[in-house]
Amino acid sequence: MKQQKTGLYILITYCVMQLSGALFAPLLLIIFNYFGLENARYLASGWWVFLGMGIATAITLLMIRQDKNFIRPLKGKASGLPGAIGWGILGFLMVLYGQTLAANIEIRFFGIEAGSENTSQFMDLGNSVPFVFFSIVLFAPILEELIFRRIIFGTLLPKTNFFVAALVSSLSFAVIHFEFTHILIYAVSGFIFAFIYYKTKRIITSIIAHMLLNGFVVIVQLYNEEIVNFLEKLAELQQ
């Protein structure tokens, strides 16, 4: 019963965080405009992404601290920390491969162009407010894994089976990103996160994989030209 209450409170915190931007971002925009700051709109949105997600993460972790059994609901022996870290790294590589396959399916069969508008928007915010990158790499993986893997997947698993629980949690994960053209990519990622969580019985595993994935995306977006130039020079040396 206590775990159910904790899960409900975390869900409420997450929903409030998602909706709070409609109120607080405009207030920040008024303040930044008053001081005549450039790119006030990006500053307001960026700072609220950081503050909103940071506050929601802090509240969530405090609730988990009061209910230490909350993070280990799956039956069976949980992996040790080294195993969880190893599966987290492997899960990151699995997600990269899965996303590549999903992207190719989108392009070949549905004519959907590569590139995420959601990612582009967050990168634009991060360029104005670098603290946004903390939200992308740290706060988002913690909150999303607790919501979609621990709460949704963990609640459905005992009542259904792995496939159904993973499918529902991964589709929910995809929908919440509001980028329906790339729903397959998000769903594949969510399914793999669910698998490594189920495999190790430790939510830290999918959090690690999720953090590595988001961190990889941020690095590639920030240093795209440098990476391309390096690969071109490397190819020239091998000729």
* Residues labelled catalytic: 144, 177
Q: Are 60 and 54 in contact (CB under 8 A)?
A: no
Distance in Å from the first CA to the final CA of the chain: 64
Whole-number Cα distances in Å, 172 to 198, 199, 219? 17, 20, 26
**Residue 176: partners with Cβ closer than 8 Å, 6 or more residues away:** 144, 148
Count of all residues that appear for the chain in the document: 239
CA distance 108 to 111: 6
Helix axes 162-175, 183-200, angle to 10 degrees: 140
